[in-house]
Structure 1
C-alpha cells in the first residue's frame, strides 16, 4: 500500500507540474511600451532671491513618477514600460538625440523644450510618424498658427492661465486692474494673454505700464528703501482693484506687494498665481501625489514636473486602455473621445481636437494657500466648461485637419 500511495502521489505531482508548465506557456509575454524623454537643459542663473533655488532635475522627476505609476497598472495587464532619458546641453545635441531615437524606432516622446526647438523637431522628416507630448511649453503660438498634428500639449497655455485669473476677478467684482509687465519675451507674451482675457471677461485695465526700473545693488543695506520708493512712485495716483503683474523671470514681481501707494492685492506671475499645479494643493487626492513626489525627489512638485508626469501617464493610459504598444494607435486614442486622464483635479481631462491642448482646471494659489480653482461657477459652455479657459474652437487659428 505504501508503494502504491507514493506512486500515485508522484504521478499527481508530475501531472500538476505539467499543467503549470502548460499554463505558463499559454501566458503571453508582457507587451513592452517604450517612451523617450527629450529635454534641453535649462541654463541656470543666480536668482534674485535665495529662498527658492530652481531644482536641477525639474521635469524629469515628474516623468519618473509617471513611469512608476504606469508600471503599477502594467503589472495587472501584462504591460511593461521603459523610459529613455536624454537631457542635452544645447539644441544641436537635442536634434542629434531625437534622430538617434527615431533611427532606433522610437515614436513616443515626452518633450521639455522651448517652443522654437519643439517646432523644429516636429517638422523633421523623422518626426512624421512620431507623437510628441509637449510637457512644459505654455506658448499660445504652439496652439495657434504654430500647431502641429504630431504635437499634444499638457500644461495650460498662457491664455488659459490668464482666463482663469480674469474669471476669478470678475466673480469677485474686482474689475479695475493695473497691468505691469516686464521687458522679457515671456513677460510680453503673458501680458498679451492678460489683455485678451481682460477684454473677454470685461475687466478694465486702468493703466498698462512697463516696468523699467533697475534696482541695482538690491542687497546693499539700503536696497529695500530704493525699491519701496520706486514702487510707491510707480503706483501713485492710479485707482485700481488689483495689481496684475507679468514677470515670468521673477525679476521684479515679488517687490510690488506691500509697497504700492494704495493697499491692493497682487496677482499674475506673483501673488495670486494661476498655475497647473501648486504646492498647497491638497484636494481631489492631490495630497497623495504631493507626498509620493516628495518622497521620490526630496522636494515639492513644480508645474514642469506635473506636466511631465501627466505626459507619461497619458501615454501609459492610452497603451493600457487598448492601444497597446503601437505608437500610431496610441496617438489616435489620445485624440479620441474615449481617452481621459485622471490627474487629481476633480475632472476628466481630455485633449481638444482643434489644437491638441489638454483641457484642465487651473489652480489659483499663493505660496501657502489654494484660493480658488477655475473655471469659476457661472461660466458656462455648450460642450465643456473647461473650454471657457483658453482658445475655444470658433476662435482658433489652428487647423490640424
Structure 2
C-alpha cells in the first residue's frame, strides 16, 4: 500500500496537522512518475424523503439537505487524497420531490454513465431502483433502516451505511440489560417507521432478557403542548417499570414523555436517550475535527443521514485509493475483502458484513446534550466481532449476497 493510501486511512487529527502531513507526503512523492492517465470517479447522490405530515409537537425539523451535505463533505475528503494520485472525484446530486422523480433521476444518471450511487430514500424506492439497476451498478443505502433489506430482501449490489432498526434497538437493549433495567414500558406511535422501530425493539427485548411489562399504542391526536402533564401520567400508569421506551420517529408525542411519566423513570428510544448513527455530541477519536469541518460546510450540525452518506462516499474513496480503479465490481470486491477497513471517527475500524452488505459500526447512545455510552458493550460476546451483536447476525439472516 502506498504512503498516500495509508495517509488516507488515518483519522484526521486537525486541520493544521492534516495539511502538514499531506504537504510532506506530496513533496516526498513529487519526483515519482505519475500514472499514465487520470482516474475520474463519478458518484450519484439521490434523495427523496416523503412528507412526514403534520407533527403534533414543536420538534426540531429535519434539515432538507440531511444526507446531501455529508456526501459533499466526503467528496472533498476523497479529493484531498485523490489529487496526489491523479484521481478526480465528482458528485451529481438530486433532491427529488417524489419517488417518480427520484427514480427518473436515477435512470438519467445511469444513462450518463454513473454506476456508483448513494441513496437516501425509503426502502420501497430503493427496491424500485435496484430493479432498474444494471449488474454493474453499486448502490449505498444511506437512509432506509428497514430490517427486511438486511434479512430477506437483499441485493448483491446494495450496501447499507445507515444502521438498521435492529442495530439501533440492540444497542439500546444491551445498555438496558447492562444497567439491569429489565422491566420496560413500551409506547408505539402509529406510523410505519414507529412500527418498524417497535418491532425491532421487541426482538431486542427477547434477545437481551428484557420484559415489556406494558406495550401500548399511542392513538391520540391531542395537542400535548397544553395537556402533557395531565395525559401522560395517566397513560403511563402501571405497577412498576424501570424505563419507558418510546417509538415515535417523527416526534408526535415522544418529546413530552420525559418528566411526565406516572413513575419517575428514564425515557429512552426515539426520544430521551437515543441510539443513533451520529450526533453532534460525538467528539472522541478525532470526531470533533469532522464535526467542525461539517459545520463550516453546512452551517449546522452533522446528523445520522449526513454521516451515513459520508461513510458511503468515503468507502468508495478508500477502495479507489487501494486499487486505483473506479469500476463498481472492483470497488465491491475491495469493500468485502479482509483488508478493507474504514476509518470513520468511531473508535474502531468499520467493515461490511459479507452476507447482507451492512456496515458494521458502533452505535452512540446520546441525549440532546451529551454522550451516554457506546454500543456494543464488552460483556456481550461474539465468536468473530462484538459489532455483530448489533442487528441480525449471519445465522439470523437469509441473505447470502456473496454466495
On whether the aligned pair clears a TM of 0.5, the verdict is yes
Distance (whole Å) between structure 2 residues aligned to residue 116 and residue 25 of structure 1: 48
Q: Does 1:131 align with 2:138?
A: yes
Task: Tell me, yes or no, if the aligned pair for 1:246 and 1:253 is still in contact at 8 Å.
Answer: yes
**Matched residue, 2:168:** 161
**Residue in 1 aligned with 2:207?**
200
**What is the DSSP-based 3-state SS (H/G/I as helix, E as strand, rest coil) of the residue aligned with 1:309?**
helix
Say whether 1:32 aligns with 2:32.
no
Contiguous gaps of at least 5 residues in structure 1: 1-22
Separation in structure 2 between the aligned mates of residue 348 and residue 26 of structure 1, nearest angstrom: 30
Secondary structure of the structure 2 residue equivalent to 1:149: coil
Q: Identify the residue that residue 358 of structure 1 maps to in structure 2.
A: 359
1:9 corresponds to which residue?
none
> Could you say if the C-alpha distance between residues 44 and 295 of structure 1 is closer, same or farther in structure 2, counting changes exceeding 3 Å?
farther
Q: Which of structure 1's runs of 4+ aligned residues deviate more than 2 A?
A: 23-30, 41-51
Tell me how far 1:127 sits from its aligned partner: 2.7
Task: Give the one of 213, 221, 226 matched to 1:214.
Answer: 221
Q: Match of 2:83, SS?
A: helix
- Aligned residue for 1:328? 329
- Could you tell me which residue of structure 2 aligns to residue 175 of structure 1? 182
Match of 2:194 in 1: 187
1:372 and 2:384 matched:
no
CA displacement 1:344-400 (0-9 Å, x = unmatched): 001110100111000000000000010000001211111111001000011112232
Output the TM-score relative to the length of structure 1: 0.89
- Distance between the aligned counterparts of 2:255 and 2:32, measured in 1? 62
Q: Is 1:93 aligned to residue 94 of structure 2?
A: no
Match of 2:74 among 66, 70, 87: 66
The TM-score, its normalising length taken from structure 2, stands at: 0.89
The Cα of 1:323 is off from its aligned counterpart by 4.7
**3-state SS of paired residue (1:36):** strand
Contact 1:151 1:356 in 2 (8 A): yes
What's the offset of the Cα at 1:46? 5.4
| Counterpart position of 1:145 | 152
The separation in 1 between residues aligned to 2:54 and 2:138, in whole angstroms, is: 35
Deviations 1:23-64 (A, max 9, x none): 999763321111111122543655444462321211100000
The residue correspondences of 1:228-247 to structure 2 (distance < 5 A) are 228-247=229-248
Q: Distance in 1 between matches of 2:52 and 2:254?
A: 19
Instruction: Please state how far the C-alpha of 1:214 moved relative to its aligned partner.
Output: 2.0
Contact 1:323/1:333, CA 8 A, preserved across alignment? no
Structure 2's unaligned 5+ residue stretches are 1-30
Question: CA 1:387–1:211 in 2, change beyond 3 Å: closer, same or farther?
Answer: same
Does 242-251 or 70-79 show the bigger shift? 70-79
SS of aligned partner of 2:84: helix
Structure 1 pair 75–193 and aligned structure 2 pair: CA distance change class (3 A): same
Q: Is the 8 A contact 2:35 2:85 kept in 1?
A: no
1:101-140 aligned within 5 A: 101-124=109-132, 126-140=133-147
Give the RMSD, CA atoms, in angstroms: 1.7
1:215, 1:227 within 8 Å by CA — same for their partners in 2? no
Deviates more, 1:327-336 or 1:351-360: 327-336
Contact (CA 8 Å) 2:360, 2:387: kept in 1 or not? Answer: yes
C-alpha distance in 2 between matches for 1:26 and 1:169: 55
In structure 2, the residue matched to 1:84 is: 92
Pair 144,308 (structure 1): closer, same or farther in 2 beyond 3 Å: same
Which structure has the greater CA radius of gyration?
1
Deviation at residue 272 of structure 1 after TM alignment = 0.6
